[in-house]
Amino acid sequence: MTDSLFSDATQRLDTALKYVSISEDAIERLKYPKASLRVSIPVRMDNGDLRIFQGYRVRHDDTRGPTKGGVRYHPNVSLDEVQSLAFWMTFKCAVVGIPFGGAKGGITLNPKELSRLELERLTRGYIDAIADFIGPDVDIPAPDVYTNPTIMGWMMDRYSTIRRQLSPAVVTGKPIALGGSQGRDTATAMGAFYSIQTMMSKFDRRPENTTVAIQGFGNAGSTIAELLFNAGYRVVAVSDSQGAIYSANGLDIPSLRHYREANKGMKAVYCEGSVCNIVEHQTLTNAELLTLDVDILIPAALENQITEDNANDIRAKWIFEVANGPISPAADGILAERDILVFPDILVNAGGVTVSYFEWVQNRTGLYWSLEEVNDRLKVKTVEATEAIWQTSQERSISLRTAAYVRALQRLGESLDAKGTRNYYLNGMGNG
């Protein structure tokens, strides 16, 4: 509990506890990860050198079911970050009502520096190291930052080899051909889109009159950008790790995605077929994008992008957190004072884990659903959770983040207390 990011994560828990009644036993158990694993992964590089990479896997709580959470490949991965993300996953699963607990994993590296063969050897080595820590009924990894369906397929294949049996349910986010689910690759963005649509209708905002800026143009960020563009929203700015582009008239997101895929860079373009023409735009930094005067701001990159240092510069009316933990607790308070509504990550980006649950169910039953079925089920889950959190926020006059934690705590508290509490034993209820 001394690490800074995990301490920040648990601050949100402390705030929500003022508005919900659960046992002290449950509170104490939620403050600590159930199990943490740190491993060293030796990898023979293409040039013959041997490199050792540090890997992590943390299971936070499995009271409501097997733990679930992504694996990220990033230079900043640390035990502190991984246990914080596992904590958030516990609450995310409870918010949308799926029978999983929270977990997370990661390897500290810059994946862009490795060849595909080196990445495969690293991935299989990671599974070798954590195979006894995961399993379809124990802990189920999934994609996260800089991991993808191919990497998940390697993980599943290696785990199956170790167990001497085909085990598709051990990971989610796999290629369709290896037991993956329709809609899993777009699930995080699709869930965020349903949440945004639900809330904008409450504010009587028409898409064509609503401007959007998106920090992060990875899988989730680029997909939510195109979903919003296709729905008529004016997406005026997007960014990747190299910087941001801005056009007040709005960006042509499908053309931008096509250009970026072909050229590994971003410019505002309009494409007809394979011909793309650059159109007028400004180049910004990621920090400048966050302070644009827009209606909706979507942080879809990494943690702690909005802090007390820049919270007073934010001009958006609504923030939807597609990234995990992009706003620090100190910044939360400043944004609340300025009447900027923040829709929290444990609601907005829960589409990924929701469809991961659907994939796990399909793997276990052998019955697979169409894309329409997956998206319909995701919409039901997302809209129901969004409506409930909005109602709790309004009824109790609390922030949307606190309302989301209250909803999750109610479910987690019931599950944890069902195993027995201090009062249960003191009152003699354990006697037969």
Q: Point out the residues that are catalytic.
A: 104
Cα(115)–Cα(101) distance, integer angstroms = 34
Nearest to 265 by CA among 239, 288, 247: 239
- What is the Cα–Cα distance from 245 to 77, expressed in whole angstroms? 27
Q: Is 218 exposed, middle or buried (0-12, 13-18, 19+ CB in 10 A)?
A: middle
| Sheet of strand 139-143: strand arrangement | 35-44, 50-61, 101-108, 67-74, 139-143
Contact yes or no for 33/60 (Cβ under 8 A)? yes
Instruction: Calculate ∠ Cα 424-430-432, nearest 5°.
Output: 150
Nearest to 38 by CA among 97, 101, 82, 2: 82
Q: What is the CA radius of gyration of the chain?
A: 22
Closest to 144 measured CA to CA, from 207, 78, 112, 188: 188
Torsions phi, psi of 275, nearest 5? -100, 120
Cα–Cα distance measured from residue 206 to residue 32, given in angstroms and rounded to the nearest whole number: 44
In the chain, what is the greatest distance between 2 CA atoms, to the nearest angstrom? 78
